[in-house]
């Protein structure tokens, strides 16, 4: 099988982003978005999903973190979509429960090409580090839409917002890793009764 990799560049009036992704990696991450907590979450995502991610982002952080965080996740979704190609032979659906101390999160993923996202999570604080907690659902939505995938993410319980968000990103990495695995029994066929995704 050809290496599943993608390179994405996005330059707008708000951000300048370069991203290199290897799906079948070892969890290596080199990330600098200017948003420390987002760097931390994406590093965890890569480590737990065994994705290799090289990411540089410069954005209008003098305004706020919204544009930079959003565009980073748009690029990440685009990279996943490109790296998955026709998605032949993929397991396609998977889920992961991840505990983080007192918090527990679930993410279920379907790489069937139909973008949709549901996030059920409540946060007690307006931000963790430089990242607004109201952005978390939007970041998952950006990955889902641009990655052409169905994501359902839920914090089942927890007290600490850092722990809740960390559990979500770890679960996202693990669910995507499992869904993106190639099942030899499919012999390269499209994982759908329709014959197309």
**115-145: pLDDT as tens digits:** 999 999 999 999 999 999 999 999 999 999 9
Read off the tokens for 168.
């979500």
Interval 77-98: pLDDT, tens? 999 999 999 999 999 999 999 9
How does pLDDT run along the chain (197 residues), one tens digit per residue? 688 999 999 999 999 999 999 999 999 999 999 999 999 999 999 999 999 999 999 999 999 999 999 999 999 999 999 999 999 999 999 999 999 999 999 999 999 999 999 999 999 999 999 999 999 999 999 999 999 999 999 999 999 999 999 999 999 999 999 999 999 998 888 888 787 78
Percent of the chain with pLDDT over 90: 91
Q: CA nearest 44: which of 146, 176, 191? A: 176
pLDDT for 178: 98
Q: In angstroms, rounded to a whole number, what is the distance separating the alpha carbons of residues 125 and 155?
A: 15
Q: In angstroms, rounded to a whole number, what is the distance separating the alpha carbons of residues 158 and 186?
A: 39
Q: CA nearest 57: which of 21, 33, 31, 29? A: 33
Q: Specify the CATH class of 5-183 in words.
A: alpha beta
Which H or E element spans position 190? Answer: none
């Amino acid at each position: 099988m050809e290496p599943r990799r993608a390179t994405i560049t996005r330059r707008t009036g708000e951000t300048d982003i370069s991203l290199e992704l290897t799906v079948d990696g070892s969890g290596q991450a080199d990330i600098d978005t200017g948003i420390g907590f987002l760097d931390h979450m994406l590093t965890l995502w890569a480590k737990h999903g065994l994705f290799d991610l090289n990411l540089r982002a410069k954005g209008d952080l003098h305004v706020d973190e919204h544009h930079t965080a959003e565009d980073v996740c748009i690029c990440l979704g685009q990279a996943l979509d490109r790296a998955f190609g026709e998605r032949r032979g993929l397991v396609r659906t998977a889920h992961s429960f991840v505990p983080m101390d007192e918090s527990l999160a679930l993410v279920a993923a379907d790489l069937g090409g139909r973008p949709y996202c549901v996030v059920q999570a409540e946060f007690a604080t307006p931000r963790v580090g430089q990242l607004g907690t109201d952005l978390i659902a939007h970041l998952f939505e950006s990955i889902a839409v641009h990655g052409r995938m169905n994501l359902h993410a839920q914090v089942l319980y927890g007290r600490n917002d850092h722990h809740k968000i960390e559990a979500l990103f770890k679960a996202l990495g693990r669910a995507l890793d499992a869904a993106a695995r190639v099942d030899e029994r499919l012999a390269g066929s499209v994982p759908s009764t329709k014959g197309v995704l």
